[in-house]
Structure formats: structure tokens, C-alpha cells
Amino acid sequence: MECGGAGLTLTDAFPLFLAAGRAGLSHPFAETAIARAMLAKAGRESCGECIAIAPAAASGAHIVCRDVPGGAVADLVLTRWRNEWLLLPVGAATRTAGIYRPHASASLQWPADAAVFRFRDDDADILAICNAAHAAGMAGAMQRVLTMSVGYVNDRQQFGRAISQFQAMQQELSVMAEQASSSVFAARIGCAATGHLPDPLRAATAKLRACEAGASVAAIAHAVHGAIGITEELALGLFTRRLHEWRSAAGSETHCATLLGDALFAQDGASSQVILDSRAPSWPSLPESQHAKPSEGIYRHRRREAHADRRVQRDAFRAQRTGTWRHCHPCRRGAGRR
């Protein structure tokens, strides 16, 4: 706020990151917001530049950032190099077009003295920042892919009716909706912070869930759309390519899973939920009388599900015996007895 910004925490900014992914914004929006907050803390005033964030790799005397999402359309790249944060101009870099989005992303290489600004920030973890930002963008993109898929199956006609009425299609869309919804929830966890920097374990949790869901959502979406899904005329490929690009950028699924596993085994008999809760922001606590009892709630829910399953089985058995199966089962409606 004192540096001319809105003063939002990462939690406050999460809906904006989600909306940027849903809109298919080519520029690294979440990374720019976090980078500007870090630079403002370090004493550098923002001039409205678009800033990408990416880890650096050693290549002789050069600084290399590989496959930077939005690197070709950004003005600057913020990276960590030899215990120091460097702000590097994209215009001074040797660039190679990105694999998934050649016009928007790129691999960049600079000489070691190309930085326009340097600072130290030992609290910031570059992989955690990328994981949280990418998970939020992936969640928004999956929401958009789900919306496009639902709209397509409602419009597409086959055998005289919309293909959304076929049970196999409904099953695929249900799986897609489940994956997209869980990714949004995980991304919200990854961005749960009282400041502008994410917690490494929460960010790894969000990225791992988003990566696992992204592969499934992209595959189902292209299966639902068929051959039209890979054409340039349809925007579906723009979002699925971004999902695969984010999956391969910064912290991979293996890295995130390893980080979480190491943290779990480092605890003395703690569960993964305890690890995440121990790093949660301080939320207002409820009175003791309002505390829920998870075990009772889980068992009650499972008992209701078991009773419902038994009712369904009983009704189906009775329908078969009385010859009314075709009237109660959606797959047999309108069909005569055989």
C-alpha cells in the first residue's frame, strides 16, 4: 500500500490469479504481482513492467532460465542466482521459442552481469512462488476447459439427441468436474498466506494436485471434443497446452511429491494434515462448543451412503421382479421387456 499498490496478501489475490487462468491470459499475471511485491520490499519502485519468475540453471558463465511461461511477452524475469535475486531484462537475453507456446514462452539466456537490479531475500523460495502461481493458473484454466466441454456436449447432436444425454459422456464430464474442483481447492490452499510469499509445503501440495488433475482434464477434454479439439479454430488447445506447460515448469510432480514426503517423514508420528495445518494462517478460532467432531461426521456420512446404496439395490430388485425396470432405470426408459 505504501509503495503504490493495493497491499493485497496472497490469499486476497488468489481470485485474481484464478480469473487470469480462466481467461487464458498469456502474460504471467500472478508472477508479476508477487514479483512487484518483492521488489517493493527491496526498495525498487515499479514502472508497470510485466515480470516473469523462473528458476535459473548454470550454463558456464551464463544465466539460463528454461521454458519460462510467458517469458517471450514479459519485460523482465526475476530469478535467484547464487543466493541473490536478480532482475533480468528480456530484451537483453538470447531466446529460444518455448515448446508449448512458441509465441508466448521462451528459454532465455543472459551473461552473468546482465541484471538491472539485485537484492537479497532469504525468506522467499522461488520454487514455492512458481508452484503457487502455476497451480492457481492451472485451476482457472481447468475451469474454462470444463465450461467449454459442457457447452460442446450440449450443442453436439448424435443419433437425434445431444451427446450430453449419453451416460458415458456424463461419466467423463463428472470426472473432469471433480478434478477441476479439487484443483481449485488445492490452489486456494497453496495461496493461503498472510503476506505475499507462499509456504513451500502448501504450494507443493497445490502444484502436485493441479499437475495430476491437469493431465486428466486435458485428456478428457480432447476425447470429448474429438478431432475438432486440436484445430486452431477452437480455443481448447490454448488452455490444454498451457496446462501441460505449467506441469513441466518449475517444481515438477516428482519434486513436489518428494518435498511433501520428506516433510512427512521428518515429523514424529504426524499426518500430512498436521503438516499443512501447522503452516496455516492464523484464522479466528471457534468456541469449543462449536468445534466439529470429524470422526462422527465421517461415520454419519458413510452410514447415510450405505443406506442409500441398499435402497437403490432393493428398488432395482423389486423393479426387476415386477417388470417395471424399464420405468425406473434411465438406460431402459422407453424400452419394452425382453
DSSP calls for 22-44: HHT--S-HHHHHHHHHHHHHHTP
Average pLDDT for 224-251:
89
What pLDDT, on a 0 to 100 scale, did the predictor assign at position 277?
64
DSSP calls for 57-113: EEETTEEEEEEETTTTT-SEEEEE-SSSEEEEEGGGSEEEE-SS-TTT-EEEEEETT
Beta pairing class for 85-89 and 94-97: unpaired
Q: Is the pLDDT of residue 333 over 50?
A: no
Classified as helix, coil or strand, 53 is strand
Residue 1 C-alpha from the chain's centroid: 28
Torsional sign, CA 283, 289, 290, 293: positive
Helices (H), 191-334: 200-225, 236-248, 253-265, 272-277, 294-322, 325-328
pTM score over 0.75: yes
The per-residue pLDDT for range 132-157, each reduced to its tens digit, is 999 999 999 999 999 999 998 988 87
Which long-range CB contacts under 8 A does 195-198 form with residues at least 24 apart?
195/9, 195/10, 196/8, 196/9, 196/10, 196/33, 196/34, 196/37, 196/38, 197/10, 197/34, 197/38, 197/123, 197/124, 197/125, 197/128, 197/129, 198/10, 198/125, 198/128, 198/129, 198/131, 198/132
Give the CA-trace dihedral at 120, 121, 124, 126, to 10 degrees: -10
> CA-CA distance, 175 to 153, in Å (whole number)?
15
Mean pLDDT score across all residues of the chain: 82
Classified as helix, coil or strand, 263 is helix
| Position 313 confidence tier, pLDDT thresholds 50, 70, 90 | low
What pLDDT, on a 0 to 100 scale, did the predictor assign at position 329?
45
| Position 232 confidence tier, pLDDT thresholds 50, 70, 90 | confident
C-alpha distance across the termini of the chain, in Å: 73
> CA-CA distance, 16 to 213, in Å (whole number)?
21
Highest-scoring range by mean pLDDT, 156-165, 272-281, 296-305: 156-165
| Position 61 confidence tier, pLDDT thresholds 50, 70, 90 | confident
